[in-house]
C-alpha cells in the first residue's frame, strides 16, 4: 500500500541521513518503526525518562497545593524586639 505523510523537513533530513549511515532506505526504517511500535504496544511507547517523572511529580504536587484547603492563620503574631536575633514577644 502506498500512502503520503507530511513530515517536517528537518526531521526527514535527519532520518534520511541516519538511514544512509546505516545503509538502509527510509522506507525500511519506517516499516521497522511501525512494526516495533505495534509489537511493543502503547504502554512501551509511553515510557518516561527520569526527568519527565520528576516534572510530573512537581506538577502533581503544585496541583495538590492549589486544591488544598487554606492553612488556618495563627491567632497570635509575634514581633521581634531589638535587632530581632535574640527575642520575640507576642503582640
Identify whether the C-beta of residue 74 lies closer than 8 Å to the C-beta of residue 88: no
Question: Please, where are the H alpha helices in the chain?
Answer: 9-22, 26-45, 50-67
Reported as a single tens digit per residue, the pLDDT across 34-87 is 888 888 755 554 677 888 888 888 888 888 888 877 766 665 565 666 665 556
pLDDT at site 42: 54
What is the spatial distance between Cα 6 and Cα 90, in angstroms, rounded to a whole number?
69
Please tell me the pTM assigned to this model: 0.43
Q: How far apart are CA 15 and CA 26, in angstroms?
A: 7
Instruction: For residue 68, count CB atoms less than 10 angstroms from its CB and return exposed for 0-12, middle for 13-18, buried for 19 or more.
Output: exposed
pLDDT average, residue stretch 86-90: 58
* Rounded Cα gap, residues 28 and 16, in angstroms: 11
Amino acid at each position: 500500500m502506498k500512502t503520503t505523510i507530511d513530515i517536517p523537513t528537518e526531521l526527514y533530513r535527519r532520518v534520511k541521513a541516519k538511514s544512509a549511515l546505516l545503509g538502509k532506505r527510509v522506507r525500511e526504517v519506517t516499516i521497522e518503526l511501525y512494526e516495533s511500535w505495534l509489537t511493543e504496544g502503547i504502554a512501551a511507547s509511553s515510557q518516561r525518562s527520569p526527568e519527565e517523572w520528576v516534572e510530573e511529580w512537581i506538577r502533581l504536587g503544585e496541583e495538590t497545593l492549589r486544591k488544598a484547603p487554606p492553612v488556618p492563620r495563627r491567632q497570635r503574631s509575634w514581633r521581634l524586639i531589638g535587632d530581632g536575633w535574640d527575642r520575640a514577644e507576642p503582640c
